[in-house]
Amino acid sequence: MGKKSKTIAESFFRVAHPSVSSTAPIVDTHTHLASTFEAYRHKYPAGEFTTVYEFVRGLYVPAGVTEIVDVWCEGPVRPLWREFADSAVTEEQRRDLWGGMGYWFVMGVHPHEAKHYNDAVEADILEAMAHPRCVGWGEMGLDYHYDNSPRPVQQEVFARQLRCAVRLKKPLTIHTREADDDTERILKEIVPKDHKIHIHCFTDSPAFAQRLLDWFPNLYIGITGVITYSSNTDTSTTVRNMFAPETASRLRIVLETDAPFMVPAPIYTLPAFSTLDGKGKKLPLCHSGMVPWTADFVANLLPPAEGEREGWDAARVMTVARENARAVYGV
């Protein structure tokens, strides 16, 4: 098998968090299900799950995942979206195909792909917006870290998508990276203050997050597994600041994986992983069942509320984040 024998066994994807009971349902507010499943098939060509529905029923539902917001952000739009969305319309379909999990989606064009945005792409997105499982527009925004599309094009396409979404009153899924000033300016120019906004996978400066939270009362910060990485302290500071005495102490976050990327690091402290070594120890992809590991990390950042003896735990963070997910997306 050569190099392939290094790939970690599929069984390691069943990563139940020890402290989370079934009373804390998992809501993943941002995941790329098609690419997660494709990454899984690529890594495990002889894998147990051969369809996306089996993948969800076998891995997500037993882990306690009750809702996901799937993200389509390619330009041009991938026609596959319709198969997933159409298969989740009735309760019967969701029970039989998705194991009872609520499948929802958002659609937009990612800043990386902004150069591919045009009238035809917009028409396809507008069509998807009318689907009963569609709960928002995105991910869209600005990414000056990679600059995969020229910045003026990113800005124009971001503004154009925002105008459409605002007109349709659709919640916004925003991707912003190292573009604080332009993202803030464009959002404030176009989006009404009370609009519902999810700033997904937030990793930028805490001051930027605070300015957005202060301006938009229905804005939530999306927290992925990247908060657990030692290379990133800004996201932890952003969450802690929500509890600073001088600000409103409300946990305005939603939890997400952005799978297939960013496995939460604390997963590797599970005893099962201690039997492995070296490169074969790493999971090649992430999935929605890993949300509790991120929630647990968030809980450890938070002080007990005033007058409370009990502090935060993963289940409590997930419960609040679950309410916030409902507030933004209605899921």
Residues that bind Zn ion (CB under 5 A): 139, 175, 258
Residue of this chain nearest to Zn ion (CB atom): 175
Residue 20 tokens read as 């989370």
Nearer to Zn ion, 259 or 315 (CB): 259
Number of other CB atoms surrounding residue 66 within 10 Å: 17
Q: What does each C-alpha distance from 174 to 138, 258, 276, 294 come to in angstroms?
A: 6, 13, 38, 20
Shortest Cβ distance from residue 278 to Zn ion (Å)? 29
Shortest Cβ distance from residue 50 to Zn ion (Å)? 25
Nearer to Zn ion, 204 or 258 (CB): 258
Helices (H), 169-265: 180-190, 206-215, 234-241
Shortest Cβ distance from residue 73 to Zn ion (Å)? 7
CA separation for the pair 150, 302 (Å, rounded): 39
Shortest Cβ distance from residue 313 to Zn ion (Å)? 27
Smallest CA-to-CA distance from 142 within 191, 189, 102, 187 is with 187
Shortest Cβ distance from residue 120 to Zn ion (Å)? 23
Nearer to Zn ion, 20 or 106 (CB): 106
Nearer to Zn ion, 28 or 139 (CB): 139
Shortest Cβ distance from residue 202 to Zn ion (Å)? 10
Amino acid at the residue 254: V
Beta strands (DSSP E) in the chain are: 26-31, 65-72, 102-107, 134-143, 172-177, 197-200, 219-223, 253-255
CA separation for the pair 155, 178 (Å, rounded): 13
Nearer to Zn ion, 124 or 139 (CB): 139
Number of helical H runs and strand E runs in the chain: 12, 8
CA separation for the pair 190, 159 (Å, rounded): 7
DSSP state of 170: -
